[in-house]
């Protein structure tokens, strides 16, 4: 790649432009062109300015570094450079690439390359302890909304495929469901707080004549089984294969709308729903943890302002608890009211190499929901504990 090349993150992004783009495009995207003399001839030099231009210029530098070190061919170098930037660089979180905005860069190639290089596929983790924790809380929130007869709307920003077959190679390779839903399946007695979760898990496997639990429902399927006929589901998923599976799963269900879109940016068009009541589940893959937290914060700042009465449930992983503290402090610092956090640790948070626990932040938590969470986690912790150091907590981050 030549030294005078530039990476442009519009529709022509990630393509090397040897002759240099037009001046109006350079100004629009934050890059300043200067004519300099080198070796007796004029050559255009591109200098990045703060904002989007700075991000693009540094991403271009990363691509060149990958090529020079012989790590990847050009088509793979750009994917790995984008993924590495989103995971490790503070500037990638500060600019709005991770949110696929502004609108004129709706198909931002940095995000597309990150998606192309994404390692996370939930089929490897379906039914693990984090899924049990998340879905039990989700059903509890849905039941509180169903306490009133008026309909409500459920919005899922990262819906996934909707259902997962635990007999497939992905699930068998990791076997994470064995230390998750399988522990509940073989338990001699199940506490009342988990009865609702397990009943719907069996309902998702009603087609199995032998009563085996080979199918694990994702959040969309759990929600669809719990919702009433006049409630509504809005499901967002960016990955083509997962979105196609969702459409196939819910074909013919008039309550469900599936959108192959980035859930963060799509929220502004879905809220407030016409029902005026409802729940947003934000459950991203967290491959780039710091960037993901910052994206969630900027999204919540907008959605809480537009829909102040809506329930927001945000799931997050815990490897080292101190890594989550800035995110949890954000709610009080920005005046987000009625915020409750629940965390389940199946082991001590002393290793960044494994998932030691997970948490759920609930904005606009329903009345007395903290008491219900206390009972749930007290029942769930001994069933899913990986070591004697397992623990749980329920705490109010902010009050009214």
How far apart CA 320 and CA 338 sit, in angstroms, is: 25
How far apart CA 384 and CA 138 sit, in angstroms, is: 18
| Distance from chain centroid for Cα 107 | 18
How far apart CA 234 and CA 307 sit, in angstroms, is: 16
**What is the reported pLDDT for 288?**
84
How far apart CA 85 and CA 9 sit, in angstroms, is: 14
Name the residue among 51, 61, 49 with its Cα closest to residue 95. 51
Determine the 3-state secondary structure of 271 from DSSP.
coil
How far apart CA 181 and CA 4 sit, in angstroms, is: 55
Query: Beta strand 31-38 with 41-48: parallel, antiparallel or unpaired?
Result: antiparallel
Count of Cβ atoms closer than 10 Å to residue 297 Cβ: 18
Answer for the pair 114, 295: CB distance below 8 angstroms, yes or no.
no
Count of Cβ atoms closer than 10 Å to residue 220 Cβ: 25
Query: Beta strand 278-282 with 153-156: parallel, antiparallel or unpaired?
Result: parallel
**What is the reported pLDDT for 209?**
78
**What is the reported pLDDT for 84?**
52
How far apart CA 53 and CA 397 sit, in angstroms, is: 37
CA atoms within 13 A on the CB side of 253: 24
Local structure of residue 318 (DSSP, 8 states)? E
| Sequential DSSP letters for 130-178 | HHHHHHHHHHHHHHHHTTSSS--EEEESS-TTSEEETTSHHHHHH-GGG
102 cis-preceded (ω within 30 degrees of 0): yes
Residues recognised as catalytic: 283
164 DSSP β-pair partners: 216
All domains of the chain in start order, with CATH: 23-116 (no CATH), 122-398 (3.40.50.150)
Percent of the chain predicted with pLDDT > 90: 63
pTM of this structure: 0.73
**What is the reported pLDDT for 328?**
97
Per run of 10 residues, the mean pLDDT along the chain (length 400 residues) is: 40 37 43 42 44 44 54 50 50 41 39 48 91 98 97 97 94 92 91 94 88 93 97 96 95 96 94 96 91 96 95 96 94 96 93 90 97 97 95 95
Q: Which two tokens stand for residue 61?
A: 């530098």
Name the residue among 201, 175, 279 with its Cα closest to residue 234. 279
How far apart CA 199 and CA 44 sit, in angstroms, is: 67
Strands of 278-282's sheet in order across: 256-259, 232-236, 153-156, 278-282, 311-318, 357-363, 339-345, 391-398
272 cis-preceded (ω within 30 degrees of 0): yes
Question: Greatest CA span in the chain, whole angstroms?
Answer: 84
Q: How long, in residues, is the chain? A: 400
Local structure of residue 123 (DSSP, 8 states)? G
**What is the reported pLDDT for 66?**
54
Name the residue among 300, 285, 274, 139 with its Cα closest to residue 220. 139
């Amino acid at each position: 790649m030549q030294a005078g090349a530039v990476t442009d993150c519009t529709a022509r992004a990630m393509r090397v432009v040897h002759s240099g783009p037009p001046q109006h495009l350079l100004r629009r995207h934050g890059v300043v062109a200067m004519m300099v003399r080198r070796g007796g001839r004029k050559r255009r030099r591109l200098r990045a300015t703060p904002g989007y231009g700075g991000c693009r210029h540094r991403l271009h530098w990363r691509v060149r570094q990958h090529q020079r070190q012989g790590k990847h061919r050009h088509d793979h170098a750009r994917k790995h450079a984008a993924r590495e930037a989103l995971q490790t660089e503070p500037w990638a979180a500060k600019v709005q690439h991770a949110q696929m905005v502004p609108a004129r860069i709706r198909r931002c190639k940095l995000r597309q390359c990150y998606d192309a290089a994404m390692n996370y596929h939930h089929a490897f983790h379906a039914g693990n302890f984090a899924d049990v924790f998340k879905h039990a809380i989700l059903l509890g929130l849905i039941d509180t909304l169903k306490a009133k007869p008026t309909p409500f709307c459920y919005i899922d920003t990262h819906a996934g495929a909707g259902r997962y077959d635990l007999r497939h190679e992905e699930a068998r390779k990791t076997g994470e469901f064995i230390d998750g839903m399988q522990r509940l399946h073989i338990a001699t007695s199940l506490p009342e707080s988990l009865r609702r979760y397990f009943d719907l898990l069996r309902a998702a496997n009603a087609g199995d004549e032998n009563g085996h639990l080979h199918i694990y429902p994702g959040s969309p399927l759990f929600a669809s089984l719990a919702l009433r006929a006049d409630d509504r589901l809005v499901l967002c998923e960016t990955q083509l294969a997962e979105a196609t599976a969702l459409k196939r799963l819910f074909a013919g269900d008039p309550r469900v709308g599936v959108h192959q879109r980035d859930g963060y940016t799509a929220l502004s068009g879905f809220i407030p729903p016409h029902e005026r009541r409802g729940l947003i589940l934000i459950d991203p893959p967290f491959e780039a943890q710091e960037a993901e937290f910052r994206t969630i914060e900027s999204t919540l700042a907008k959605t809480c302002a537009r829909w102040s009465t809506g329930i927001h449930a945000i799931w997050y992983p815990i490897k080292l608890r101190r890594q989550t503290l800035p995110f949890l402090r954000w709610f009080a610092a920005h005046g987000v009211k009625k915020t409750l956090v629940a965390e389940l640790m199946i082991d001590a948070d002393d290793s960044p190499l494994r998932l030691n626990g997970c948490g759920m932040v609930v904005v606009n938590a329903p009345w007395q929901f903290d008491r219900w969470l206390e009972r749930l986690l007290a029942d769930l912790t001994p069933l899913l504990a990986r070591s004697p150091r397992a623990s749980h907590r329920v705490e109010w981050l902010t009050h009214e």
